[in-house]
Amino acid sequence: MTNKEIANILLQIAKIMELSGKEKDRFRIVAYEKASQAVESYGEDLADVYKRGGKEKIMEIEGIGESIAEKIEELIKTGKLKYFEELKKEVPKSEVEFLQIPGIGPKTAVVIAEKLKAKDIDDLEKKLKSGAADKLFKEKTKANILRGIEILRRMEGRLLLTEAMPIAEEVVAYLKKVPGVERVDPVGSLRRWKETVGDVDLVASANPPAGGPKKVIEAFVKFPKTSNIITQGETKATIIHKDGVQLDLEILPKEKYGSLLQHFTGSKEHNVALRTYAVGKKYSVSEHGIKNPQGKLITCATEEEVYKTLGMDYIEPELREDRGEIQAALQHQLPKLVELKDIKGDLHFHSNWSDGSDKIEDIAKAALRAGGRSGPEAQKLGYEYVAIADHSPGLGVAQGLKISDFDEREKEIEEARKSCPKIKILNSVEVNIKADGSLDLPDEFLAKLDVVTASIHSSFFQSQEQITKRLLLACANPHVDIIGHPSGRLLGRREAYDVDWEKLFQAAAKTKTALEINAFPDRLDLKDSLCQAAQKQGVKFVICTDSHRLEHLDLMRFGVAVARRGWLEKEDIWNTKGYEELLEWLER
């Protein structure tokens, strides 16, 4: 039973309690919701935690007490939960389904099921459109529900961060040129660099003399790539970008900008935790400011003031997920997060020898020139090194190289080294970890290479035992330096393979094998919460782009974002080291 499955059952319990209306204590419901979130974002599999320390160990997780720990125990042991099975009988399945529709809460869900007798969302939509629901809902409510259904269907394909960010940046750049605009900031999950986002939310402040909020809104809806204006008010507007993304802009008053920016950035969980802490200190935090114990409202023009007023260090947006950042901010123990400018090289680039599209010399020049940085920095800072890591023979689909090909390729690397002496070109491979855990290149050959990344590209659905064994064998191989995309997940397409993370982290730490944070858009693998868990075990990382084209070098910032969300510092990451120090690690 995975954390996700356990979390889902806990959430279902909360929903059924709400729907049945029998549970008068709403905090009991909230407790299940919180526990669900705690389980879902927990870095290690609870089944493993249970194996190590039983129920008591599970109770150590914030938000899980004795009662819920017992339920988790039953789920892990039997795969079932009697309490849940009984509870499910209390409400029809359709009601739980209706709750997914934005704008519909428990009360309305019950009305839809009992009075309208809708069987499912499709049936509900039909009844709303045919007029069968007219007695129950007036026009606006009907339209509201239909819109909710549409949003739900669109939500099924949330945007990848790597798709949403460039759109947001383009709009921000556009708005910054509008007269009177002082500040523009992306907010929400986008500002926290979460791996997927729903809509693109932006906030801005404007100077009245130049026309004020209204003028800015007018400019916003005229953004050249607008396909549709949904709403346009005095201070707020929503447009649809021509490639289908919804963009929201809200103009905020300057004097409260900090409080509002903080509020809209979230996460919800972070804000709840922040407010809860504040209450303990007799403060009250809202988007309008902070009421001190004397009842005086302190307005915050900057986010820094918000945290400072509460006696905390400033918390970077990437950390605002309620994973201990508030406690750390109070104790001045927040990590100094790694930054893009710390990255000194990329260790995962596919050339046209395998499935990449570029010559080695061109890769070297591009890495030297831009070094994964876009914008003004790109001109100044280049990488010190880049590793050409083509696929090994086993990967037929990606034109993996035979040993003789690698020898040929080495000649081209030598030539590129001569024509491009300012950057170190490392002779590398992304070698396959086969189903039995062996590698598809012999050790004698791997020994000749500068750096070796080992990755799983086949037999994804083996048992946890099998998969873990493969990864442990790869770590134990003295020639393997990096485990590539350790979980194998593809966002929106494939679940991670089933790994015993605890064991992998221990092995990686012991053998000084780095885990890759793969910056490719639908990977972002190892994911943030696992990075955090691994770092605690002493694991080191590399952040690599897995580039197949020159422009993929720019993806580095998304890998860095994952590392930052995983609380990683410069010291945790090998490719922040200069070439000499990198060699020391590689020759360990």
Partner DNA sequence: GCCGTTTTCGGCCCGACTGTTTTCAGTCG
The residue ranges that bind DNA (CB under 7 A) are: 25, 27-28, 30-32, 34-35, 59, 62-69, 101-109, 137-141, 144, 148, 188, 264, 266, 268, 271-272, 275-276, 279-280, 282, 284-288, 291
Residue 168 contacts residue 186 (beta carbons within 8 Å): yes
SS3 content of the chain, % helix, strand, coil (to 5): 50, 15, 35
Residue 189 contacts residue 154 (beta carbons within 8 Å): no
State the minimum distance, in angstroms, from the CB of residue 487 to DNA: 27
CB-based contacts of 579, cutoff 8 Å, min separation 6: 344, 345, 384, 385, 424
Residue 371 contacts residue 361 (beta carbons within 8 Å): no
CA distance 257 to 251: 9
Nearer to DNA, 67 or 419 (CB): 67
Q: What is the DSSP string of 192-216?
A: TT-SEESSEEEEEEE-GGGTHHHHH
158 is written with which tokens? 């949330």
Residue 39 contacts residue 3 (beta carbons within 8 Å): yes
**Cα dihedral angle (70, 72, 74, 77), rounded to 10 degrees?**
-130
Nearer to DNA, 233 or 538 (CB): 233
State the minimum distance, in angstroms, from the CB of residue 136 to DNA: 9
Strands 541-544 and 514-518: parallel
Which residue has 């039997």 as its token pair? 78
Residue 322 contacts residue 270 (beta carbons within 8 Å): yes
Nearer to DNA, 101 or 471 (CB): 101
3-state secondary structure of 24: coil
Q: Burial, 404: exposed, middle or buried (Cβ in 10 Å; 0-12, 13-18, 19+)? A: exposed
CA distance 300 to 41: 31
Widest Cα–Cα separation across the chain: 80
Backbone angles phi, psi at 64, to 5 degrees: -115, 120
Nearer to DNA, 55 or 434 (CB): 55
Nearer to DNA, 200 or 483 (CB): 200
Nearer to DNA, 58 or 319 (CB): 58
Nearer to DNA, 205 or 455 (CB): 205
State the DSSP code for 490: B
Nearer to DNA, 139 or 587 (CB): 139
Nearer to DNA, 25 or 156 (CB): 25
3-state secondary structure of 517: strand
Nearer to DNA, 228 or 458 (CB): 228
Closest CA to 486 of 412, 415, 419, 539: 539
3-state secondary structure of 284: strand
CA distance 533 to 517: 14
| Position 258, amino acid | G
Which residue has 């590392």 as its token pair? 563
Residue 401 contacts residue 393 (beta carbons within 8 Å): yes
State the DSSP code for 522: T
State the DSSP code for 439: B
Nearer to DNA, 25 or 444 (CB): 25
State the minimum distance, in angstroms, from the CB of residue 521 to DNA: 25
State the minimum distance, in angstroms, from the CB of residue 526 to DNA: 27
Backbone angles phi, psi at 352, to 5 degrees: -75, 5
CA distance 133 to 147: 15
Closest CA to 553 of 519, 577, 524, 582: 519
State the minimum distance, in angstroms, from the CB of residue 34 to DNA: 7
398: number of Cβ within 10 Å: 18
Which residue has 């090998």 as its token pair? 574
State the minimum distance, in angstroms, from the CB of residue 514 to DNA: 34
State the minimum distance, in angstroms, from the CB of residue 236 to DNA: 8
State the minimum distance, in angstroms, from the CB of residue 409 to DNA: 51
88 is written with which tokens? 């499910």
Nearer to DNA, 125 or 346 (CB): 125
State the minimum distance, in angstroms, from the CB of residue 78 to DNA: 17
Nearer to DNA, 137 or 349 (CB): 137
Nearer to DNA, 115 or 588 (CB): 115
State the minimum distance, in angstroms, from the CB of residue 275 to DNA: 3
Nearer to DNA, 92 or 394 (CB): 92
